[in-house]
Amino acid sequence: MARIAVGGFQHETNTFAPQQATWEEFVRADAWPPLLRGPEMIAGVEGFNIPIAGAVKKLAELGHEIVPLAWSAAAPASYVTEDAYERMWKLFDEDLRKLGPFDAIYLDLHGAMVAEHTEDGEGELLRRIRGIVGEALPIVASLDYHANLTPEMARFSTALVGYRTYPHIDMAVTGSRAVELLDKLLKDKRPVYRAYRQLDFLIPLVWQCTFVEPAKGIFDLVGELEAGEKSHNQGIVSVTHTPGFPPADIAQCGPALVVYGHDKEAVEAAADKLASAVKAQEKAFAGELLDPDQAALRAIELSKKAKKPIVLADVQDNPGAGGTSDTVGLLAALMRHKARGAVIGMIVDEGAARAAVETGEGNVMRRGIGAVVGYGGETPVEADWRVVKLSDGIFTGTGPFYGGARFQIGPMALVTDEASGVSAVLAAKRVQAADKEMFRTVGVE
């Protein structure tokens, strides 16, 4: 049995977003748990589809002693404030010095954190931890699919293990995979070689989906390289590819990969093969995007023969990537073209959500909704909105992405413009619309 320290510091930074990630954002709960430290972490992450939960569960199954440090996460936003970063570091610093010695460390990181005073939030964190525990102690971290995997992250860790799905349905699984690798490295004392590669182009988020090509084929290759090399005893123990997070506008932004193993030649060969495969698909990471009117009209046409709901995604205003979730271009287009029965969610407008509560179910409020930030000169969409259903915004996710997440996003409302037949789900706090319960809680099935 090994004594393994466990902690995490999660943030996906969109440097173009208007709101910063303050300390308060890391402390409070949203879909994920609040700031956790010490023994409360073990129970606090149980049941969530997040890496730390998968790691804790697997470490317990493997029989290791878990030494909880601190864990926190904030919703994607702009820069992590220096105050927030240094407060979190202080917790790590205190715990690492007080609770050691350890046999190894597992960290739940994102990989695209940018703070006010450092572009590479995770690389700097790992560097500081190395300064305390030394070069020899194994440190394995899990990373988000959208990590901007930097040379410093690779340099100051023993191994990095990334998600393999987008949408991310393997978050807890990745935490489990990371500590399984850590367990193997503790038992096998042979040297571990690392091959790191960066690609020289950016991959737009909308073309990173692993359900379709070219990302699907690339991640099939990731799995094949790892499993195939293992089966042929070539010494590969882990393969990770991160397509990157372009909204983090930093020098080290972009796709990268890292391969680990006990056979240096096999490790280098696998890294070269995967890098070549990604590079070969550069031009394929593109496709057709529609403007709001084109999208609305196409969705209306498809719905005439559809037997299931048509999903129309506003890919540029995703709060899961730092968006404000209050733009109204698509809502206005749906209303212009009278897309009766359409429901758009979520429009994050706390004022409108609270006004709906005051108006009451079944009553009508005349006001504008959305465009709180007002990007591109947008203005709220004015209409007579009938309040159909209200919710307190407290519910549990049930889908493959947010399963187990305990939402606390303030008042919510389903409102309908009866002139066009278009409805909107209003919410008080930002969270990406990635679980059906967000609609079910206001009566939309």
The overall average pLDDT reported for the chain is 96
List the domain boundaries for the chain.
3-284, 292-440
Token duo for residue 414: 């389903």
Condensed to tens digits (0 to 9), the pLDDT of residues 90-128 reads 999 999 999 999 999 999 999 999 999 999 999 999 999
- pLDDT grade, residue 229 (50/70/90)? low
Query: Looking at the predicted structure, is the pLDDT value of residue 371 above 70?
Result: yes
Closest CA to 397 of 412, 382, 411, 407: 407
CA 208/CA 401 separation, integer angstroms: 16
Tens digit of each residue's pLDDT (9 = 90 or more) over 43-65: 999 999 999 999 999 999 999 99
pLDDT exceeds 70 at position 230: no
Cβ contact 353:428 at 8 Å: yes
Give the pLDDT of residue 233: 53
Residue 125's φ and ψ, nearest 5 degrees, are: -60, -45
Query: pTM (2 decimals)?
Result: 0.95
- pLDDT reading at 166 higher than 90: yes
CB 287 within 8 A of CB 213: no
Confidence of residue 215 (pLDDT cuts 50, 70, 90): very high
Q: Which residues on neighbouring strands pair with residue 383, listed in sequence order? A: 367
Integer Cα distance of 410 and 429 in angstroms: 6
Alpha-carbon span 32 to 75, nearest angstrom: 9
The closest of 416, 412, 408 to 349, measured between CA atoms, is 412
Say yes or no to pLDDT of 228 above 90: no
pLDDT in tens, 271-307: 999 999 999 999 999 988 999 999 999 999 999 999 9
Give residue 263's pLDDT band: very low, low, confident or very high (50, 70, 90): very high
Cα–Cα distance between 136 and 192 in angstroms, integer? 12
The predicted pLDDT at position 30 comes to 85
Residues ≥6 apart with Cβ < 8 Å to 291: none
Mean pLDDT, rounded, for 32-50: 97
